[in-house]
Amino acid sequence: MATAAAVGLHVAAARAADDKPIVFVAAIIESGPFKVTDNQNLAGVRYAVDQINKSGGINGHPIKLDIVDTELNAAATRRKVTDAILNDDAKAIIGASGSDIVNALVSVGQKNHVPVFAFAGEADDMTGARFQPALFRFASNTSMHASAIVYAMKHFYPNVKKVFLLDEDYAFGHESEAGFKAALKTVAPGVEVAGSVFHPRGVADFSPYLQQIQASGADFVLTADWGADLVKLMTQAQSFGLKPRIGGTFVADPEILKGIGNAGIGDIGADVYQPTIDTPENKAFVTAWHTGHAGSDVPWPTASVGKSYITTELAAAIFTKAGSTDFDTVVKTAEGFKLDSIAGPLVIRACDHQVQIGQATGQVVPTNNNPYPFPFIGTAFIAPLSAIAVAPQDTGNPRCSSAAAN
């Protein structure tokens, strides 16, 4: 009897081990003025986890999702994510809005041998000069995103002669300005920079900057502002009567566009994902999303939803192929990994862990219920990878200048 009981306990323990969840921790802004954007990111992560678990999880292991509030504060982020790793055995980190926050995640992930899968945080140097093996970035880097906006500007506004650059005064904003300038030289060499200014993140009054733009004679504005700053910029630009159209790396956000209505018509946006990508796979995703979220705060997928969904899907697919949560095994599996996503086929470049994929750009058009009942990005115009990719030797990452670059 004792032997049978021991065997029974052993079998039960083995089954428990077989069914043990794999913990993903999502680093999300859940407080403060920027939480609206991350409400979309969290919705995308949750939907991906639900779909993966319904399909059997990761090799039979369900994903358990822990959520931490980054507070858009690097120190708080490091502390909370470290707690999730040490106390709940988190095996993957998904996040996060703000390049400074992603840097905090990477420092924790690298120290504790937990991979970070980034749906945002675009500073070039994170996969460049400051590269750490723990980071895998689905979000574009600043150079790719800036090139996509300039590519779209030349498509929708071929007669632009002068642009004004307006960005937030932190690492991402400064790299975005450099990215815009570099993209203008290669994609739109005849366009002049009429002015450039940085503003504090979270600034309340944009009127001094709007006055500078108007006085510069620019006929187009390029900006990498996001979240609450972009809402204020576009809202105040409408009240100010700003004449130039705006090309923003994060313009295609329904939380922004629904608040400004017709004033946004003609502005352009770009991102890795848009709900207006015209493929059967994406149309099916949009329909499925709406079926399950029609009464929610995010009734249709957004750029943020799509990016966070694909990032989570990508992480799970890599763990599944690796057949292990061992850090070194996951890293090796992820390098060169390919996935057919709702945004199109992608590959993780081995040398810098930057996902390589084209960008869905678009112009804000009058209400056409595609999918929102207010002016929104029209059918996506794809900026091809060949037009926006940063060559391995130009990344600033020593690994990419070697034979390992691919």
Helix spans in 68-170 (H): 74-88, 99-112, 142-156
How many angstroms separate the CA atoms of 398 and 315, rounded?
A: 25
CATH number given to 143-277+359-388: 3.40.50.2300
pTM: 0.89
Q: What is the pLDDT of residues 81-96, one digit of tens each?
A: 999 999 999 999 999 9
The residue-averaged pLDDT of 155-168 equals: 98
> Out of 3.40.50.2300, 1.10.8.60, 3.40.50.920, 3.40.50.80, which CATH number does the structure's domain 2-140+283-357 have?
3.40.50.2300
Q: What is the pLDDT of residues 193-251, one digit of tens each?
A: 999 999 999 999 999 999 999 999 999 999 999 888 998 999 899 889 998 999 999 89
Domains 2-140+283-357 and 143-277+359-388 alike in fold: yes
Candidate from 68-82, 106-120, 244-258, 382-396 with smallest mean pLDDT: 244-258
Position 116, amino acid: V
Q: Which pair of structure tokens corresponds to residue 267? A: 């502005």
How many angstroms separate the CA atoms of 293 and 183, rounded?
A: 38
User: Distance of CA 1 to CAs 11, 13, 169, 176, Å?
Assistant: 15, 18, 71, 70
Give the DSSP H/E element, type plus range, for residue 28: strand 22-28
pLDDT of residue 17: 53
The residue-averaged pLDDT of 258-274 equals: 91
Domain boundary assignment for the chain? 2-140+283-357, 143-277+359-388
pLDDT of residue 12: 40
pLDDT of residue 374: 92
C-alpha closest to that of 140 among 99, 107, 110: 99
Residue 214 near residue 157, CB atoms below 8 Å: no
171 has pLDDT over 90: no
How many angstroms separate the CA atoms of 50 and 12, rounded?
A: 26
Candidate from 37-41, 69-73, 74-78 with smallest mean pLDDT: 37-41
Radius of gyration of the chain (CA): 22
127 has pLDDT over 70: yes
Q: Which pair of structure tokens corresponds to residue 399? A: 């690994």
